[in-house]
Structure 1
Amino acid sequence: MLSLRGRGALLAAAALAVSLHLGLSAAPAAASGGKPGGGVTCPGLVPDCDINAGGGGGGDNGEKPKPGGKPGGGGGGGSAKCYIEWDNIGEVPCYDADMGWFNPAGQCYWEILEPQPAKDAADWEWGTAAPATDAERAKGKVYNVTCPGAGRELMGGSTWSLNPPPGFGGGPTAEELAQEAIKKMRLLGADIGSAPKAGKTGLVGMPVWIWNNKAPRTWGPVTASASAPGITVTATATVKKIAYTMGDGGSEVCTTAGTPYEKRFGGQPSPDCGYRYTKTSASQPGQAFTVAATTTWVVHWAGGGQEGDITTTREAEPAQITIGEAQAVAKP
């Protein structure tokens, strides 16, 4: 740490201890369905038949702000929040035009001192945290530290640091660490299950059941953490919704994983995630509708006195659903 004699009140003994804490560095740390054949009579009201049936065809802007500059837009659908616990202040801006960037380690604002003091300035006093050499000193910067809250002015002052604090341009922000945690999760799109399933054929107008075969990486919750010096962020991802495009121009949005079909359900519609086709798939490539799905994940993260949410999407491996048309069979 170095301090300026002209800031007398800011150079109390408390400033030394806290500035040492504030000086922490931040390192960048489907199978295809069967082909429809001729007309059939289904053995009861079920979403699929074992016999083939046929008929007529019917995401961060990733921008890093420059040290001392204003923050850019928040990428990835995320929004950071910063908090000061002292004096019950609560939520504060993560950037303040007068005070600079909020540093969660110590809950103070840091701003590069402009102009920087001359290398041989006579009015600087070096504390025990001083860089060992002039070359090391030249690599760091002097920051003006402001600590809002009653009686906290002694915690601020002019402080030298080799690296920017967390979130100050050169180091990862809490939200950037959250993005790193998301990468560790390896989130996936839906593992699509359906009735009728591959190799079987549903009928026009009959209920189609859709579901996501639930696993941590396809439905959640999934939790992971990422760290940089002075800050650790923990993120938890859960699915908000799954949007299915059914291959016939229609779509279905499900906010649950869906209910897997069982034979005991007979011809009932799905209670939470279903569809009905109004035409056959005979004219489609492979004579089956291609069903795609986009999963929207919401990731809540917290760490370093901040928290926020990031929205990201994942695509599913497409599924194939074959739809035919039942025809009356005349008795001999």
Structure 2
Amino acid sequence: MLRGLALLGCAAVLLVLPAAAAHAAGEVTCPPPLIICEVEVEDPGDPGSPPDDPPATQVGDGQCVTFRGNVVPCWRAGAGWFNASDSCYYQVLEPQPPGDDAVWEGNYPDGAIYDVSCAEPLLAPGTNGGWTWLPSPPPGFGGDPAQLARRAVDQMALEGPAIRTPLADGEAGTVGIPLWLWTEQSATTWGPNTATASVPGLSVTATAQARWIDWELGDGSRMRCDGPGTPYIAGHVESPTCDHVYTASSAGRPDDAYIVTGTTTWDVTWLGGGLSGSLEVTRSASTSVRIGELQVLGTT
């Protein structure tokens, strides 16, 4: 059964269609706040009569063919993915309607609501497209550019900071003396890092660049350092970009050490499918540092 759309302006008109014009893609609901006339058509079909037109298919290089033989893009910005079974485009509606909306047909939260637009309308003009509930993505659905951007980010294998301090292995820092903190810089620990994710008909390229590191110092202190920090410069006391002064020894803590955790925030920009966007991701890493009291030796 199809619940189609007929825009009426300011008047309500009953539109009657012959059964042969029905579209078997499912029930479609017009989004508010349009003034609409809902048309319900039931078409049992004729299983003994094959369709006059060849079925839609995909021809490669991001091009699909409709049931009438016309070549259309498999992905279209603002419309979504081409469904070869009905020559319509589908994209997940954002945001999804409330769970008590009739368009869910009582199925919420299963499945999703899709916004449908058809390349070759099968109904009378003005009665095709709208919202429909589906239990799973339709044939040919490859996600959206934002989803591909997240897939590209996964390919980058971004990491938290490769934490460095001036302390050699087994060496302890000193209470009251600034401890420099920084990260070794690479494509995976600081960037830039670029990757491309693709499906037939759509490619999205994402570029990630780290911006700052949030530090948890193990003594209850927290701080944010913009940039990767500065590697230790011999003879300098304070870091020009990122350091922390401990006020108490780490003695008595597990392994007599403070656990230091750095969380890097990455800015990601992406471009593809005629669209662009951005997202933010974080990655964390930890290390331990031992801090001791300054020992003063005297003579008598």
Q: TM-score range by the shorter chain?
A: 0.5 to 0.7
Partner residue in 2 for 1:321: 289
State the Cα distance separating 1:205 from its structure 2 match: 1.0
Q: Which amino acid aligns with 1:292?
A: T
Aligned match for 1:221, one of 184, 192, 195 = 192
Hey, what's the Cα distance between the residues in 2 that align with 1:68 and 1:183?
35
Q: Which amino acid aligns with 1:240?
A: R
The answer to whether the Cα contact below 8 Å between 1:196 and 1:322 also exists between their aligned partners in 2 is no
The answer to whether the Cα contact below 8 Å between 1:198 and 1:322 also exists between their aligned partners in 2 is no
Hey, what's the Cα distance between the residues in 2 that align with 1:246 and 1:172?
41
The answer to whether the Cα contact below 8 Å between 2:67 and 2:87 also exists between their aligned partners in 1 is no
Partner residue in 2 for 1:158: 120
Partner residue in 2 for 1:191: 162
State the Cα distance separating 1:115 from its structure 2 match: 6.2
Hey, what's the Cα distance between the residues in 2 that align with 1:115 and 1:243?
59
* 1:258 maps onto 2:229 in alignment: yes
Partner residue in 1 for 2:174: 203
State the Cα distance separating 1:175 from its structure 2 match: 0.7
Aligned match for 2:265, one of 283, 296, 319 = 296
SS of equivalent to 1:182: helix
Deviations 1:280-331 (A, max 9, x none): 1112111111111111112111101111112111121x21211111132113
SS of equivalent to 2:290: strand
Partner residue in 2 for 1:181: 152
The answer to whether the Cα contact below 8 Å between 1:290 and 1:321 also exists between their aligned partners in 2 is yes
Hey, what's the Cα distance between the residues in 1 that align with 2:154 and 2:165?
29
Q: Which amino acid aligns with 2:147?
A: E
Which consecutive residues of structure 1, in runs of 5 or more, have no partner in the other structure? 1-65, 71-94, 99-112, 133-137, 146-155, 161-165
Hey, what's the Cα distance between the residues in 2 that align with 1:130 and 1:203?
73
The structure where strand makes up a greater share of residues is 2
Partner residue in 2 for 1:270: 239
Q: Which amino acid aligns with 1:143?
A: C
The answer to whether the Cα contact below 8 Å between 2:208 and 2:267 also exists between their aligned partners in 1 is yes
Spell out the pairing of 1:54-69 with structure 2 (5 A cutoff).
none
Spell out the pairing of 1:130-145 with structure 2 (5 A cutoff).
131=67, 140-143=85-88
* 1:306 maps onto 2:251 in alignment: no
SS of equivalent to 2:289: strand
Q: 1:249 to 1:114 in 2, by over 3 A?
A: farther
Deviations 1:208-227 (A, max 9, x none): 10000111100011000011
The answer to whether the Cα contact below 8 Å between 2:161 and 2:184 also exists between their aligned partners in 1 is yes
The number of aligned residues is: 207
SS of equivalent to 2:155: helix
- C-alpha RMSD of the superposition: 4.0
Q: What TM-score, normalized to structure 1?
A: 0.53
Hey, what's the Cα distance between the residues in 2 that align with 1:227 and 1:284?
49
Q: Which amino acid aligns with 1:178?
A: A
The structure where helix makes up a greater share of residues is 1
Partner residue in 2 for 1:36: none
Partner residue in 1 for 2:110: none
State the Cα distance separating 1:144 from its structure 2 match: 7.8
SS of equivalent to 1:236: strand
SS of equivalent to 2:158: coil
Partner residue in 1 for 2:298: 330
Hey, what's the Cα distance between the residues in 1 that align with 2:261 and 2:206?
28
